[in-house]
Amino acid sequence: MGYHSPVLLNECIEGLNIKPTGIYVDVTFGGGGHSKEIMKHLDGGKLFAFDQDADAHKNNLEQDGFKLIDANFSYLRNFLRMEGVRKVDGILADLGVSSHQFDVAERGFSTRFEGELDMRMNPKSDLSAKEIVNDYSEENLANVLYKYGELKNSRRIAKEIVNARQVEKINTTTELIVVVAKIVPEKYRNQFLARIFQAIRIEVNDEIVALEEMLLSAVDMLNPGGRLVVLSYHSLEDRLVKNLMKKGNLEGNAEKDFFGNPIKDLKAINRKVIVATADEIKQNSRARSAKLRIAEKSNDN
């Protein structure tokens, strides 16, 4: 199995509307699938990619005009300025966890394999899933599960975890699954477990805050006519992207000028969200939950 199969690849590349001499950014390099395709469309242009996962750097592209930066995409503006770049022509973000991260058992991302409770996208960071599961208070744990997993029974789940860890520390994915699986009927179990793992993973990696910082930086860094192309995989991410592209801010509050015109820097290119075809989903199950949104930077005011 490859490192990662890029989702909606052609639609993403079309959405970027690439100029051969332009400057582009792939903020989620992963297996490099999107970056490889972007490079095919450049002639004299540059592509900067971001990834904080050491495994992803093994996929580095040895090509002129390409540079892979070892950093979280929330630091987009700072690292590009260090490269002497203040404006770019397009930014692509394929959010979520790569297939490789899910498939490596010891990373602890997946409910399918037994592994240490880790879930760090940056293996050098201090906070892992093990600390959240074993050290967070019952209230904080419930809040994480409710906020990031959108689980209505978050308090009950948190209580089960706290009761179990008082008997014995929860160290592995399997141990966590055994503790929480009895709370729901069998037919809902996979979705339920996926949401618990999602919530803990988002907390470990501070994903929502990082996404907010990246999106705001992206808007500032785009040239007029530049494109922002974002693939999201769950409602928390998609809501932020949709709000920014349609309302002009992350909160989704429409602001208008004196004449009643909306105040926003981006213009949505696709009026309806773009999703994968049945054929693509058949080839790549990860595409099932993908939502693609594309927006263009308006002329600077």
Separation CA 59–CA 275 (nearest Å): 27
Statement: residue 16 has pLDDT above 90 = yes
- Structurally, what CATH architecture does the domain formed by 105-205 represent? Orthogonal Bundle (1.10)
Closest listed residue to residue 229, CA positions, set 265, 279, 266, 283:
266
pLDDT band at 182 (very low <50, low <70, confident <90, very high): confident
**pLDDT tier, 4 (very low <50, low <70, confident <90, very high otherwise):** low
Strand partners, 228: 91, 295
Q: What is the DSSP string of 283-295?
A: H-GGGGG-EEEEE
Convert the pLDDT of each residue in 122-180 to its tens digit: 888 889 999 999 999 999 999 999 999 999 999 999 999 999 999 999 999 999 999 99
Kindly report the pTM of this predicted structure: 0.90
Q: What's the pLDDT tens digit per position in 243-293?
A: 999 999 999 888 888 888 878 899 999 989 999 999 999 988 888 999 999
Reply yes or no on domain 9-99+207-297 having CATH 3.40.50.300.
Answer: no
* Residue showing tokens 């600077």: 300
* 9-99+207-297 against 105-205: fold identical: no
Q: Where are the domains of the chain?
A: 9-99+207-297, 105-205
SS3 265: coil
pLDDT of residue 111: 57
